[in-house]
A = this chain, B = another copy of it.
Amino acid sequence: MKITLIRLGKLHLPFAQSGYDEYVKRLGHYCKYKDELLQVNSKSKEVNILKRGEGEAILKRILPSDFVVLLDENGKNFSSTNFATQLQQWLNQHAHIVFVIGGAYGFSEEVYARSNFKVSLSCLTFSHQLVPLIFGEQLYRAFTILKGEPYHHQ
């Protein structure tokens, strides 16, 4: 069970980083979790050029056999229980699941074309700073649901 999170750009709010770190630590008990922070230093302010550069950096990290799930505002909205069930299906079918959090302006067309699935965390837009933390907690929650552990109660 190997899961990687590819994300773009450092977390500059200290609580966002330490919160994410907490869930990364917890996730280590359930899967082989890898955090992959990409730093794309583009001088361009043109959104499409930025997105293309970020997209190339993302695609370089992805193998043909990886199952790629984008965190995207137009993705599927799950309940936590349904997300856990979906995660279990992916884990059964694929050796390596790669989740990707894009840059502030979203993904390039090339990344969309390569992706296998899109998940939305909410109809609301959350700060880029908070997404790794929120996603990390949700992935941790999914594993506790799959293991029948008392963290999640509905």
Cα distance A154–B74 in the bound complex, in angstroms: 12
Quick one: CB contact mask for A141-154 with B, threshold 8 Å, 1 for yes?
10000000000111
Q: Could you say which of B13, B124, B138 contacts A19, with CB atoms under 8 Å apart?
A: B13
Report B-chain residues with C-beta under 8 Å of the C-beta of A122.
Answer: 77, 121-124
A87: interface (CB < 8 Å): no
Q: How many copies does the complex hold?
A: 2
Asked if A137 and B141 make an inter-chain contact with CB atoms under 8 angstroms apart, the answer reads no
Closest approach, in angstroms, between the C-beta of A45 and any C-beta of chain B? 13
Report B-chain residues with C-beta under 8 Å of the C-beta of A83.
Answer: 124
Interface size on A, residues (CB 8 A): 30
Q: Could you say which of B22, B104, B138, B153 contacts A104, with CB atoms under 8 Å apart?
A: B153
> What are 26 A-B pairs with beta-carbon distances under 8 A?
A13-B19, A14-B15, A15-B15, A15-B16, A15-B19, A15-B22, A19-B19, A19-B130, A77-B124, A78-B123, A79-B123, A79-B124, A79-B125, A80-B124, A80-B125, A83-B124, A104-B153, A121-B122, A121-B124, A122-B123, A122-B124, A125-B152, A125-B154, A127-B137, A130-B133, A130-B137
